[in-house]
Structure 1
Amino acid sequence: MHRNLPTPSAAAEARQRLEAIGLMLIAVGFFSALDTSAKYLVTREGLGVGQIVWARCIGQFALLLLLVPSFGIMSTRALFATKIMGWQLVRSALMVATTAFNFLALEYLRLDQTVTIVFLAPLMVALLAGPLLGEWVGRRTLAAILIGFAGVLIAVRPGFGNIHPAVLYSFAGMLAYAFFIILTRRMAHVDPPLVTLFYSMFAGTVGAIPFAVADWVTPPDVLSWVLLGALGILGGLGHWLFLHAYRLAPASAIAPFLYTQLLTMVAFGFIVFGDLPDLWTLAGAALIVASGIYLIHRERQVARELADATALS
């Protein structure tokens, strides 16, 4: 009896998916290390949020310039060639706002709390895609979004007396990130991806300088300087691995692994700060993650139905 062995193309696709999942897990680890470093610099070393945001921007911008030759662009002049300068600046401002609000929240909240609220961003994108992009959701998707919102209410406590005001920073960062994603989708077919990435880093680096100067605190020791310099590297490498993972495998195959960031955040929070999530946060995060995975499943199902309908027509 002969077993049905996978074809060479199927085997190669399977290897690519495993590689993409591995890259996604590493990227998530970098993102968690970035937030942990920022929280440590603010809470333990007393550095200003403005200078930390700027350090992340300029470090990631420098890393981008070093990697430009590997993309086949030897001159940075091509990176300035945009057809939508205004929208590029708006997108960059949203990226800086996302980072700033997240770092402000980390000064007061646990790592697992902030990442739980950030997980709401894909649900918010799905909700806003209707009025902003004309991509209206169905009843089941809307139900999943509402369940995700309920998860956030559980995670931040059912009683308003227990809500720390810094939660508002985290929600503001999540909203800025959701609009950042929507704007990125609208701009995707106008400028090349590398140009968009360049402007997000360039404008962020220049625009954050006044906040860095106003909020500057000289790092007190070598560790602080190292962590400050590592912020851009962690963010840049994380995003590079993130994008590379999506080039190797479809989003539906690897997107669910983005939620493993909750595990890495819990681990870093316990190792560095001695924090552990409570049952409310875990229960809320479980609802949000389940809703997000369902949305991914629905997108995959709708895409498959459209492909089948196209093939039959």
Structure 2
Amino acid sequence: MKDDNFRAALFMMLGTGAYTINDVFLKLLAAELPMFQILFLRGVTVTVFFGLMLWRVRAQLAGLVRRDFGLVALRSLSEAAAAFFFLTALFNMPIANLTAILQVIPLTVALAAFLFLREPLGWRRMSAILIGFCGVLVIIRPGAEGFTLYSISALMAVAMITVRDLTTRMLGRSMPSVLVAFAASCGVTVFGGLGSVTEIWVMPSALGWVWLMGATGFIIAGYILVILAMRVGELTFAAPFRYAALLFALVAGWLVFDEWPDTLTFVGSAVIVATGVYTLYREHRMQRALHHHARPD
């Protein structure tokens, strides 16, 4: 089990790192192509990939609950909206700052699950969530000179991803994860295609194609690695290692974009990570307690 957990943690770190490298390629590509065209071009290849994976497990699609298809549609819409707000923020603010803000998502999902799904939330986790939100405020600093519309866009991305993850929790166990990923990719691709009608299409340069293919490859790799992390070991052990994304973003921002966060951003990031890890720890203890009481004597 220790070896499995070690591999799960490694897969989780590599997966979050792959997602961050995808973000780096997209940010580089923003200087060359309009946003919706980027979404569409990347989305086509990703959708084909997930479509092929879905074809391999098509036998699992029999007997799916109709209610789940409505939830998948809602999840895909929130994924498309999240992509729009995320890229708007990514193209206009330091990558490490944006990544730090996104680390609050486990806290927002826990709060949303308490409010809408009636999942239990004790005072300890509630306190951690409130402190984590304070960490976000330290990073974006409302009313300060560094606060812009792009900071609001980052918060909107958090809200949309929270809706996406909350909808995922509501899906039945029979829903294949590859179908969920395929539907989300379709939603983002269609959204990008429709939005690109309002833009002037640009032929990517040779380097632009490299960045586009890099973004496509790394987002697929990130998906596969995170799935492996969840299947190989204990999710509660591997989940905290998702915060490695912040380290990857710091290094990438420094090496590629000559960005380095200020002291307050580091403080806010530390608060978010600490409260996020504590929330995951408390959730793990709660699940173990429920499992223990559910066992027959």
Q: TM-score, normalised by structure 2?
A: 0.92
Give, in whole Å, the separation in 1 of the partners of 2:73 and 2:188.
Answer: 9
Q: Which residue of 2 aligns with 1:155?
A: 139
Q: Counterpart in 2 of 1:288?
A: 272
Whichever residue aligns with residue 184 of structure 1, its letter is: T
The residue number in structure 2 matching 1:16 is 4
Q: Deviations over 1:1-54 (max 9, x none)?
A: xxxxxxxxxxxx222111111211211111111111111111x32x11111222
Deviations 1:99-126 (A, max 9, x none): 1111100121100111111111111111
- AA partner of residue 259 (structure 1): Y
Comparing 198-207 and 222-231, the one that deviates more:
198-207
Pair member with larger Rg: 1
Residues in 2 aligned to 1:95 and 1:240: alpha-carbon distance in whole angstroms: 18
**Structure-to-structure mapping, 1:2-41, within 5 angstroms:** 13-41=1-29
Could you tell me which runs of 5 or more consecutive residues in structure 1 were left unpaired when the two chains were aligned: 1-12
What per-residue deviation string (whole Å, max 9, x for no partner) do you get for residues 44-101 of structure 1? 32x11111222332221122234346x544x8x9499662333222111111111111
Q: CA deviation at 1:187?
A: 1.1
Aligned residues: 296
Contact preservation (8 Å) 2:79, 2:161: yes
2:221 aligns to what? 237
2:97 & 2:129 partners in 1: Cα distance? Answer: 19
Structure 2, unpaired ranges of 5+:
none
What is the alpha-carbon distance in structure 1 between the residues aligned to residue 57 and residue 3 of structure 2? 26
Are 2:83 and 2:188, in contact at CA under 8 Å, matched by a contact in 1? no
1:161-203 per-residue CA deviation (whole Å, 9 max, x = no partner) reads 3312210110000100011000001014353322222222223
The more displaced of 270-279 and 177-186 is 270-279
The answer on 1:182 being equivalent to 2:166 is yes
AA matched with 1:232: T
Given residue 109 of structure 1, which amino acid in structure 2 is its aligned partner? M
Which residues in structure 2 correspond to 1:30-69 (within 5 Å)? 30-42=18-30, 44-45=31-32, 47-68=33-54
Q: Is the 8 A contact 2:100 2:246 kept in 1?
A: yes
RMSD: 2.2
Q: Which has the higher contact order (CA 8 A, sep 6+)?
A: 2
Distance 1:299 1:48, change over 3 A: same
Task: State the percentage of identical aligned residues.
Answer: 27
SS in 1 for 2:115: helix
Q: What is residue 116 of structure 2 aligned with on the other side?
A: 132
Paired letter, 2:66: K
Separation of aligned partners in 1, 2:236 and 2:143 = 36
**TM-score, scaled to structure 1:** 0.88
